[in-house]
Amino acid sequence: MSLELQFRIKNNPHYIKYIRENSYWYKLLNRNENLFPKFEEEVKEKYGLRPGDRITRALETFELIQNILATLK
């Protein structure tokens, strides 16, 4: 695994956590660094880091606040 790829993983706490939980990625990335985009996508999917996930969470929070305010009326 190249130093650049190692730095990219170590500078992102989500990447570190995911690669420790799914150690098979060490082997895959050591053998083929071109799999890194797939690794990134899996991390984003697992931890809900995609833009659509963030919007969904924001909408859910907004609905929760709206329901609480409706209950207080």
Domain assignments of the chain as residue spans, ordered by start: 3-72
Contact 18, 25 (CB under 8 A): yes
The residue with tokens 């833009």 is 51
Beta carbons within 10 angstroms of residue 28's beta carbon: 15
Tens digit of each residue's pLDDT (9 = 90 or more) over 26-65: 999 999 999 999 999 999 999 988 878 788 888 889 999 9
Q: Is pTM, for the whole model, over 0.85?
A: no
Contact 29, 5 (CB under 8 A): yes
